[in-house]
Structure 1
Amino acid sequence: MSTGRRTQQERSAATRAKVLEAAYESLLERGYGGTTVGEVQQRAGVARGTLLHHFPTRGALMGGVVEDIIERRLRVLTGPELEAATAAGSWDDVVDLVWDELQQPPFAAALELWVAARTDADLRQALLPLQERIYATVHRRVTVLAGDDHPRAPMLVQFTIDLLTGSHLAGILRPRAGTSAVVEAWKSAVRELAERDSG
């Protein structure tokens, strides 16, 4: 009969998850510069020694946060909604889903890390392989729409990601009029481009 008490390993995993959640929330609210070890410690409600046991340096903490954020984004990008869209073969649905993911908190947190990684070599090295996982996952899943043998599928997927990301970034400081029209126009364009060589 189980006593219901957690093992040391389970307690350690729970503490690590609490620290990463605190770091994620700090990135969203205070940005990369404000996400210090002290700030994360206070948010997580753990002793400094406990935090340093899991993440000895700020770099190690940020490396852990990178992995956590990538997993959060992958959950959005590989969820049941995308499964339904790819099963239905709708480019419109996929454009909507990619656009929606860019509005979610995990992308905002990832953006903080992207900007910081421009001048932080260690963070950049931690971010690059994990970022490639996102691009590879999106490409693999969305390419199902057109079929693996569709000659334009890889390019159309890349166009969709790049165009929507750029449109989103252009409106971060202030929402831009006409952005929704750009998204709708791309749906029409991508359908036409996909159909051009589908026969």
Structure 2
Amino acid sequence: MSEKTAPGQNARRSQRDRTAATRSRVIDATISSLVELGHAATTISRVQERAGVARGTLLHHFPTRASLLVAVVEDVANRRLHVLADEVEHSGAAGWDAAVDLVWKDLQSPAFLAVLELWVAARTDADLRAALVPVERTVFESVHRAVTTVAADDDPRVPTLVQFTIDLLTGSTMTTLLVDDDGSQRVLLDRWRRAIPVLLGRSGAETWG
């Protein structure tokens, strides 16, 4: 015999669904604004217009711009972690080439570009920085674990090389935001893939190139 749901329960569930959908639409609009326009131009009015919601509705969910950006920080972190988990579980690839590719793929996502805008803003915004630092620490630790898992290497120097890989590609990504030069990025990726075996003592320096 099936369990009946009281009318009030259906109404509450429907309200929760509508609330979640509205929050998601506002957060998505904020992320797209951060990526396309930057932090300074991502105002409440602009987000409201992009999300297609009434100003009162937006302010009901996010009373201040700061509360909206904190929600975005958490949402972007969850997106990056979800993508990383899926990649590790389903790609089936292993080894250092796959590990480098995993870092590169994460850094090319719109989520990372949104994070970059928030990093810069957090330098002079104490509240945003307080929200961002612990979340980003969790993300970094998860990225580090995921890359280490994909590298599938038990050499004791692996943690250092994973750190180098993340830092090198993050810095390169930030640099090329100013100059759209996909070719130089590809060269860097190739050279770093060849450098890793040299740093592990498995290839001669002549292969670095």
TM-score normalised by length of structure 1: 0.87
Gaps of 5+ in 1: none
1:44 paired residue number: 51
Q: Distance in 1 between matches of 2:54 and 2:79?
A: 26
Counterpart of 2:18 (choices 6, 11, 18) is 11
- 1:143 partner SS: helix
Q: Distance in 2 between matches of 1:36 and 1:43?
A: 11
Structure 1, residues 30-82: CA drift from partner, whole Å, max 9, x if none?
A: 111111111111111112121111111110000001111112222232223x3
Structure 1, residues 154-196: CA drift from partner, whole Å, max 9, x if none?
A: 1111000000111111111113453322211111122333465
Gaps of 5+ in 2: 203-209
1:21 paired residue number: 28
Structure 1, residues 109-143: CA drift from partner, whole Å, max 9, x if none?
A: 11111111111111111111111111101111222
- Is the counterpart of residue 191 in structure 1 residue 197 in structure 2? yes
Counterpart of 1:126 (choices 131, 143, 146) is 131
Q: Larger Cα Rg: Structure 1 or Structure 2?
A: 2
Within a 5 Å distance, the mapping from 1:1-199 to structure 2 comes to 7-80=14-87, 82-83=88-89, 88-144=93-149, 145-147=151-153, 150-176=155-181, 178-194=184-200
- 2:29 partner SS: helix
Alignment: residue pair count: 193
Q: Distance in 2 between matches of 1:125 and 1:192?
A: 40
- 2:40 partner SS: helix
Is the CA contact 2:103–2:147 (under 8 Å) kept in the aligned structure 1? no
Q: Distance in 2 between matches of 1:125 and 1:103?
A: 25
Is the CA contact 2:103–2:166 (under 8 Å) kept in the aligned structure 1? yes
Q: Distance in 2 between matches of 1:117 and 1:99?
A: 24
- 2:180 partner SS: coil
Q: Which moved more, 1:130-139 or 1:177-186?
A: 177-186
RMSD: 2.1
Q: Distance in 1 between matches of 2:94 and 2:198?
A: 14
Is the CA contact 2:30–2:72 (under 8 Å) kept in the aligned structure 1? yes
